């Protein structure tokens, strides 16, 4: 099953880059959403997560605030 993954972040956010490197390591496809230049995406992220800060990751409709490696691994069936 292919997961629907979106990473809400900004170009200058170091934790956003960490999340993308983590997903890349496992060959997972994701949508990179820059909330600094997309007001609609920012609104969507805030509504889904209740947060204004980044990073926020959406995996199959579940929003995760920050780089929560264990929760992301659980949702994506990643065994390390």
Domains of the chain and any CATH numbers: 8-75 (3.40.30.10)
Residue 62, phi then psi, degrees to nearest 5: -100, 130
Position 80 pLDDT exceeds 90: no
Q: What is the DSSP letter of 40?
A: H
* CA of residue 41 relative to chain centroid, distance: 12
pLDDT value at 73 more than 90: yes
Mean pLDDT across 13-32? 96
Note the pLDDT tens digit of each residue in 24-69.
Answer: 999 999 999 999 999 999 999 999 999 999 999 999 999 999 999 9
Asked if pLDDT for residue 1 goes beyond 80, the answer is no
For residue 23, which of 74, 73, 79, 80 has the smallest C-alpha distance? 73
H-helix or E-strand containing 48? helix 39-49
Looking at residue 79, what is its pLDDT? 86
d(CA 39, CA 21): 25
Q: Which residue has the tokens 């880059």?
A: 17
């Amino acid at each position: 099953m292919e997961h629907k993954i979106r990473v809400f972040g900004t170009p200058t956010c170091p934790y956003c880059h960490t999340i993308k490197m983590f997903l890349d390591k496992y060959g997972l496809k994701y949508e990179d959403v820059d909330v600094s230049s997309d007001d609609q995406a920012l609104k969507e992220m805030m509504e889904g997560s209740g947060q204004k800060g980044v990073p926020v990751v959406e995996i199959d409709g579940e929003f995760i605030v920050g780089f929560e490696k264990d929760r992301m691994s659980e949702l994506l069936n990643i065994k390390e």
